[in-house]
Amino acid sequence: MESDQIQDDSTEKTMSRRGLLGRTATASAVLAVGGRLADPATADAADAAPEPDRGLVDVVLRVNGRVTRLRLDPRVTLLDALRDRVGLTGTKKGCDRGQCGTCTVHVDGRRVLSCLTLAGAVDGRQVTTIEGLARDDDLHPVQQAFLDHDGFQCGFCTSGQIMSAVAVLREGHAGSAEEIREFMSGNICRCGAYANIVDAVQAARAAGVMD
Ligand code: FES
Ligand code: FES
**Residue 168 resides in a domain:** yes
**pLDDT tens across 3-62, in order?**
443 334 333 343 444 443 344 344 333 333 333 444 555 555 556 666 667 899 999 999
**Residue 113 resides in a domain:** no
**pLDDT tens across 70-88, in order?**
999 999 999 999 999 999 9
Residue scoring higher pLDDT (65 or 26): 65
Residues 88-104 have a mean pLDDT of: 98
Distance 199 CA to ligand 1 centre (A): 24
**Residue 66 resides in a domain:** no
Q: What is the pTM of this model?
A: 0.77
- The pLDDT of residue 54 is 80
**Residue 160 resides in a domain:** yes
Q: What's the structural domain count of the chain?
A: 2
The gap between the terminal CA atoms of the chain, to the nearest Å, is 81
Q: To the nearest whole number, what is the mean pLDDT of the chain?
A: 84
Q: Which of 17, 32, 48 is the last residue of a domain?
A: 48
**Residue 24 resides in a domain:** yes
- The pLDDT of residue 80 is 98
- The pLDDT of residue 1 is 41
pLDDT for 92 beyond 50: yes
As a whole-number percent, the residues of the chain with pLDDT over 90 amount to: 72
Q: Which amino acids bring their CB within 6 angstroms of ligand 1?
A: 93-96, 98-103, 113, 115
Distance 201 CA to ligand 2 centre (A): 16
- The pLDDT of residue 26 is 41
**Residue 192 resides in a domain:** yes
- The pLDDT of residue 208 is 86
From the CA of 159, which ligand is nearest?
2
How many of the other CB atoms lie within 10 Å of CB of 121? Answer: 13
**Residue 68 resides in a domain:** no
Distance 209 CA to ligand 1 centre (A): 26
CATH code at position 183: 1.10.150.120
**Residue 178 resides in a domain:** yes
Domain with 22, as residue range(s), is 2-48
Residue nearest to atom 4 of ligand 1 (CA): 98
Residue scoring higher pLDDT (52 or 166): 166
Confidence of residue 209 (pLDDT cuts 50, 70, 90): confident
**Cα distances (Å, whole numbers) of residue 169 to 24, 64, 185, 209:** 70, 20, 14, 7
